């Protein structure tokens, strides 16, 4: 009989990503609700030294799949290794992060395992021993309560920056084991030949605690420097609306929205963004939303916790100066 919870943490360049601690923490809560154990399956190259950290956040056991071919993520390599571990351990729940990597991996993995999957979830609970997942639908206008029928494991992905992270307990240890797997080179149809890294030094949008975003109201790429100055002061990442990206003002990697990156920071400052449906779908789960727009009827104000109806080119510099004084 299927039992226990399994999570698949993420690493990049041998370092655990924030979403890893979120899904391990959430997996711990679900395992406690079931009265069962939590297993983390860690894939990478020379990654075993990171396994104890997952125990500090709640994992009872860490299976380490260590192989040079797993160092950089590819769907071809990860899916068969995870599938083999899932079949060998038969978890009741399988949880991944809804990051760019996680979304790609989870979709292929669910098809490979032949199970249903709830994508981009913002909440989980256990009812009658089964997983209940909450996920936004209709561009975030409503939330669906999803159950699983004759689908084992019950598989879901968690939206980044939504699940609370446990305080690490360094006195807590996990059983660390080597995962048994057979990875045939013939199934590896893709190979990563180069990785272009962001040299800005800012946190990725999906992991950022604070985001300052600009839209068409910025009037041009040169004006984003006022947002970058504010972002640097408060330790934020700079984002952009689809219209700003389509205009060529910012790279696609900065796009927030349904067709860009879905974000859930503690603070989201929207400057010159009207609030199109696809943009709201990508940031509506932010904890605090501040909107600056000269149009009082802009849809963004319907989602904002705080709104300033004025010219952003007058307000943002004043806000930046006030932050400087405060700091």
Q: Count the neighbouring beta carbons within 10 Å of the beta carbon of residue 203.
A: 17
Which pLDDT does position 200 carry in this prediction? 66
Which pLDDT does position 196 carry in this prediction? 75
**Percent of the chain residues past pLDDT 70, beyond the cut:** 98
Work out the average pLDDT over 124-135: 94
Round to whole Å and give the CA distance between 255 and 172: 39
pLDDT tens, residue by residue, 257-287: 988 999 999 999 999 999 999 899 999 989 9
Round to whole Å and give the CA distance between 177 and 92: 20
Cα 147 off chain centre by:
22
Which pLDDT does position 259 carry in this prediction? 87
Mean residue pLDDT across the chain: 93
Which pLDDT does position 31 carry in this prediction? 96
Residue 1 has pLDDT above 60, yes or no: no
How confident is residue 199, by pLDDT bands cut at 50, 70 and 90? low
How confident is residue 289, by pLDDT bands cut at 50, 70 and 90? very high
Which pLDDT does position 156 carry in this prediction? 97
Q: Tell me the whole-structure pTM to 2 decimals.
A: 0.86
Residues in the chain: 327
Beta-bridged to residue 15, according to DSSP, are 12
First to last CA, the chain: 57
pLDDT tens, residue by residue, 130-158: 999 999 988 778 899 999 988 789 999 99
- Choice among 59-63, 197-201, 208-212, 309-313 with the minimum mean pLDDT: 197-201
**Which domains does the chain show, CATH number per domain?**
5-187 (3.40.50.620), 205-326 (3.40.50.1220)
The DSSP-derived string for 128-181 is TTEEEEEEEETTTTEEEEE--SS-SSEEEEE-TTTSPPPPP-TT---EEEEPP-
pLDDT tens, residue by residue, 98-108: 998 999 999 99
Which pLDDT does position 54 carry in this prediction? 97
The sheet carrying 5-7 orders its strands as 117-121, 154-158, 93-97, 5-7, 38-44, 61-66, 175-178
Which pLDDT does position 3 carry in this prediction? 83
Q: Which two three-digit tokens encode residue 78?
A: 């990860």
Residue 160 has pLDDT above 70, yes or no: yes
Residue 5 has φ and ψ, to the nearest 5°, of -120, 135
The DSSP-derived string for 276-297 is -HHHHHHHTT-SEEEEE-S-TT
Round to whole Å and give the CA distance between 2 and 153: 7
């Amino acid at each position: 009989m299927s039992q226990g919870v399994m999570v698949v943490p993420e690493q990049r360049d041998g370092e655990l990503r924030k979403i890893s601690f979120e899904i391990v923490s959430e997996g711990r809560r679900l395992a406690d609700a079931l009265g069962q154990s939590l297993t983390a399956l860690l894939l990478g190259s020379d990654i075993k030294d990171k396994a104890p950290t997952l125990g500090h956040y709640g994992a009872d056991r860490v299976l380490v799949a260590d192989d040079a071919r797993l160092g950089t993520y590819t769907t071809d390599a990860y899916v068969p290794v995870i599938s083999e571990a899932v079949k060998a351990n038969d978890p009741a729940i399988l949880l991944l992060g809804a990051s760019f990597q996680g979304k790609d991996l989870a979709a292929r993995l669910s098809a490979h395992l032949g199970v249903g999957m709830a994508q981009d979830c913002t909440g989980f609970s256990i009812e009658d021993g089964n997983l209940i997942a909450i996920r936004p639908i209709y561009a975030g206008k409503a939330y669906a309560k999803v159950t699983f029928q004759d689908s084992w494991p019950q598989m879901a992905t968690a939206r980044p920056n939504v699940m609370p992270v446990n305080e690490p307990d360094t006195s807590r240890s996990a059983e660390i084991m080597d995962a048994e797997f057979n990875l045939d080179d013939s199934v590896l149809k893709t190979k990563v030949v180069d990785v272009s890294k962001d040299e800005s030094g800012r946190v990725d949008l999906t992991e950022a605690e604070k985001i300052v975003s600009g839209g068409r109201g910025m009037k041009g790429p040169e004006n984003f420097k006022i947002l970058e100055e504010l972002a640097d002061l408060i330790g934020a990442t700079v984002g952009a609306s689809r219209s700003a990206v389509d205009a060529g003002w910012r790279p696609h990697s900065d796009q927030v929205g349904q067709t860009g990156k879905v974000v859930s920071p503690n603070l989201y400052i929207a400057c010159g963004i009207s609030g199109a449906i696809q943009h709201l779908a990508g940031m509506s789960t932010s904890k605090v939303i501040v909107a600056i727009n000269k149009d009082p009827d802009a849809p963004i104000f319907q989602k904002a916790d705080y709104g300033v109806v004025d010219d952003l080119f007058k307000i943002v510099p004043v806000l930046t100066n006030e932050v400087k004084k405060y700091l």
